[in-house]
């Protein structure tokens, strides 16, 4: 099943579950004595405060990681661009070979993220990038040895090292997500909050259908957005636009 459809399914399930717990709480609360209102209010306040804190924290961290992933795209583009310019320091007879490897390498990097965005396995593209990294490094080191001065080694090799290291940083950033227990706790707290909220509504004469639908919809929407931001290559909220920076660098390599 497509990621977006799967997350939407969970959000709908959370909406239905929350709505049902609101109704269950309302039925349980019918006939409750007013004397119990103060105690119930204290419990409701504690649960809703915890739910709000968890929602705010989870969303804040997801948004922060989303921004960090976009920044890493720019960092990789800068690293590749810097290393590309410093190829000029190599002996002229070696520059063509290294530049060709750079073009193939950046093509493989772009293909990796295109495959992820289409829900395809990027393993082949990742392996190709790793092979090209090794070949670029080996070829550049050999070319540096034939250079007239040590300037090429001092400037080009650190730039290549940074270009290679950023791929590990991006791969690690893509794997950092909240533990599953956080999402399970969020869902459980939502259901408990729905039950308590429905219980509190029981003393009112109106059925407040609109309020129950609104509460369930808001929580389900917040859950959907949080999960979607956490996986910006798979859902509707994506970082694909940031890849245009890498594509721009690739176009400069044809000049």
Q: How confident is the model at residue 241 (pLDDT cuts 50, 70, 90)?
A: confident
Return d(Cα 88, Cα 203) in angstroms, integer: 79
Return d(Cα 154, Cα 139) in angstroms, integer: 15
- Structural contact between residues 236 and 4, judged by C-beta atoms closer than 8 angstroms: yes
Return d(Cα 253, Cα 104) in angstroms, integer: 11
Please provide the average confidence, as pLDDT, over all residues in the chain: 87
Give the tens place of pLDDT for each residue, 95-113: 999 999 999 999 999 998 8
Q: Which residue has the higher pLDDT, 27 or 188?
A: 188
Return d(Cα 253, Cα 255) in angstroms, integer: 6
Give the tens place of pLDDT for each residue, 129-188: 999 999 999 999 988 887 666 777 889 999 999 999 999 999 999 889 999 899 999 999
109-135: average pLDDT: 86
Of the ranges 6-20, 176-190, 226-240, which one carries the lowest mean pLDDT score?
Answer: 226-240
Return d(Cα 144, Cα 91) in angstroms, integer: 8
pLDDT of residue 204: 59
Beta-strand ranges (E) seen in 143-199 are none
The residues, any chain, with a CB within 8 Å of residue 66's CB and separated by 6 or more, are 229, 232, 237, 239
């Amino acid at each position: 099943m497509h990621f977006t459809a799967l997350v939407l399914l969970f959000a709908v399930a959370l909406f239905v579950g929350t709505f049902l717990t609101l109704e269950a709480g309302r039925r349980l609360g019918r006939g409750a004595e007013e004397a119990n209102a103060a105690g119930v209010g204290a419990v409701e306040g504690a649960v809703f405060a915890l739910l709000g804190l968890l929602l705010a924290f989870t969303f804040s961290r997801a948004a922060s990681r989303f921004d960090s992933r976009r920044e890493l795209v720019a960092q990789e583009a800068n690293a590749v661009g810097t290393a590309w310019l410093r190829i000029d320091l190599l002996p002229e007879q070696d520059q063509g070979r290294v530049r060709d490897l750079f073009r193939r390498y950046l093509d493989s990097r772009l293909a990796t993220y295109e495959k992820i965005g289409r829900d395809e396995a990027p393993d082949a593209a990742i392996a190709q990038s790793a092979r090209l990294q090794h070949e670029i490094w080996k070829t550049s080191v050999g070319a540096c040895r034939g250079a007239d001065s040590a300037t090429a080694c001092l400037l080009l090799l650190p730039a290549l090292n940074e270009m290679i290291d950023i791929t590990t940083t991006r791969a690690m950033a893509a794997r950092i997500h909240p533990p599953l227990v956080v999402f399970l706790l969020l869902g459980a707290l939502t259901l408990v909050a729905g039950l308590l909220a429905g219980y509190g509504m029981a003393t009112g004469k109106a059925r407040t259908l609109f309020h129950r639908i609104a509460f369930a919809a808001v929580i389900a929407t917040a859950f959907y957005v949080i999960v979607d931001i956490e996986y910006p290559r798979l859902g509707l909220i994506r970082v694909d636009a940031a890849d245009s920076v890498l594509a721009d660098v690739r176009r400069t390599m044809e000049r």
